[in-house]
Structure 1
Amino acid sequence: MAATDIEGYLAFFRAAEALKDTLRSGHTRQGRPESTAEHSWRLCLMALALADALPGIDIARLIALLIVHDLGEAVSGDVPAPAQQGDKTVSERHDFVSLLAPLPEPARARLLAAWDEYTAVETPEARLAKGLDRLETVLQHTQGANPPDFDYAFNLAYGRAHTDAHPLIAALRAPVDAETERLARR
């Protein structure tokens, strides 16, 4: 590997480290804000654990989509779903492309293609990735020590189309929604 490629990979890895400090609206059990990197890690764990129950799904491809889906947030941060106005895809893609800039062209193209696939939600893996992303978010909101004014009711509709698109994800979401309803009534 050429020295310039090595430096490019290292620059990308260093820049992606910012995802560890990119905070989300959810909190851990101990009340600490969750990072986007932690969210992405659990998504990958979910896909890996569910692999046997997902016939016909390319698990390696699914995990690749889950790893890259929020990487652009390392540049401009996360915008919680209730605060989003309009389609954030253009700005997130721009951020992701800038993050990929140091990489050699084949790596840039491969990672960007995975991000574009996730965003288009047209393949079985992308539809599953979107559903898992929404499920992990509402699951975290039921587990975390969220602030007293946390809007649990928002989660009852959040990402419903994506989680309902796969029967397994819908089945996993049902008890999470029951817990969300209980928390919303408190």
Structure 2
Amino acid sequence: MNTDIIKGRLLFLKEAENLKNIMRSSHTSKGRIESTAEHTWRLALLALVFEDELKYLDFSRVLKMCLVHDLGETINGDVPATEKKSHPDKDVQERNDLLLLTQSLDTPLRNTILGLWEEYETGQTQEAVAVKALDKLETILQHNQGINPDDFDYEFNLSYGEKYTDKHPLFKSICVLMDTETMQKINNSK
């Protein structure tokens, strides 16, 4: 590999580091606001711990998609799921930001990352649907585990991502367990 390609990839990694600084609306179990990088890490871990139930998928592709699914938030940040309707241009902004973020990469790698991101966004493959479901499940898991503000809307969890989580028995089973936790959170907050 030539030095220019290495330099371009290192520059990309330095710029992608900003995901550690992008804060989400979720809180950790210690009450600290979660970063997008932390969410991405646990999404990949969630996929890994249930890999044995997802054998029909190209698991390498699943993990890669987990890693790139929120890279478009690196520059302009995250839009909380509860606010997505008021940001109809979010997908366009994230794609433009991803194009900017990946400009230092060699063309084959750039095309791979952009292709994985597009695959996730369109949700047309089994892998993309699974990653979308896992993404929603990780968010709900964090909502239930986190120390959240008093006005946190736990009821949002009860229907979040159903379009994707209803596609596989494993995801449905996880949802049932998480919905029970969510209901406990709702009842405890009354």
Q: TM-score if structure 2 supplies the norm length?
A: 0.95
- Describe the superposition over 1:118-137 as per-residue Cα deviations: whole angstroms up to 9, x where unpaired: 11111111000000000000
SS in 2 for 1:75: coil
- Measured after TM superposition, the shift of residue 55 of structure 1 is 2.2
> Residue type matched to 1:164 in 2?
D
Contact residue 44 and residue 67 of structure 1 kept, 8 A: yes
Matching residue's letter, 2:104 = P
Alignment partner, residue 82 of structure 1: 82
Q: CA deviation at 1:87?
A: 5.1
**Quick one: distance in 1 between partners of 2:15 and 2:9?**
10
Shift of 1:77: 0.5
Which residue does 2:44 correspond to in 1? 44
Give aligned-pair identity as a percent: 48
Gaps of 5+ in 1: none
Partner SS state of residue 146, structure 1: coil
Aligned equivalent of 1:25:
25
Matched, 1:159 2:179: no
TM-score, normalised to structure 1, is 0.97
Measured on the aligned residues, the alpha-carbon RMSD in Å equals 1.0
Is 1:136 aligned to 2:142, yes or no?
no
CA contact (8 A) 1:163 1:173 kept: yes
- Partner of 1:72 in structure 2? 72
**What are the superposed Cα offsets for residues 20-47 of structure 1, whole Å, 9 maximum, x if unpaired?**
1111101001000011111111111111
Q: Equivalent residue for 1:170?
A: 172
Aligned to 2:50, the other structure's residue is in SS state: helix
Q: Could you tell me how far apart the structure 2 residues matched to 1:120 and 1:167 are?
A: 22
Q: Which secondary structure does the structure 2 equivalent of 1:76 belong to?
A: coil
Following the alignment from structure 1 to structure 2, what is the Cα–Cα distance between the partners of residues 87 and 47?
29
Find runs of 4+ consecutive structure 1 residues off by over 6 angstroms: none
Structure 2 unmatched ranges of 5 or more = none
Q: In structure 2, what is the Cα distance between the partners aligned to 1:46 and 1:115?
A: 19
User: Counterpart in 2 of 1:101?
Assistant: 103
- 2:125 matched residue in structure 1: 123
Alpha-carbon contact 1:40-1:66 (below 8 Å) kept: yes
How far apart in 2 are the matches of 1:32 and 1:90? Answer: 29
Distance 1:12 1:60 in 2: 21
Q: Alignment partner of 1:96: what SS?
A: helix
2 CA distance for matches of 1:83 and 1:56?
Answer: 34
Q: How far apart in 1 are the matches of 2:14 and 2:118?
A: 23
- The residue type paired with residue 79 of structure 2 is V
Cα distance, 1:72 vs structure 2 = 1.1
1:169 and 1:38 mapped to 2: Cα distance? Answer: 21
* TM-superposed deviation, 1:113: 0.4
CA positional deviation for 1:101: 0.6
Q: Which amino acid aligns with 1:68?
A: V
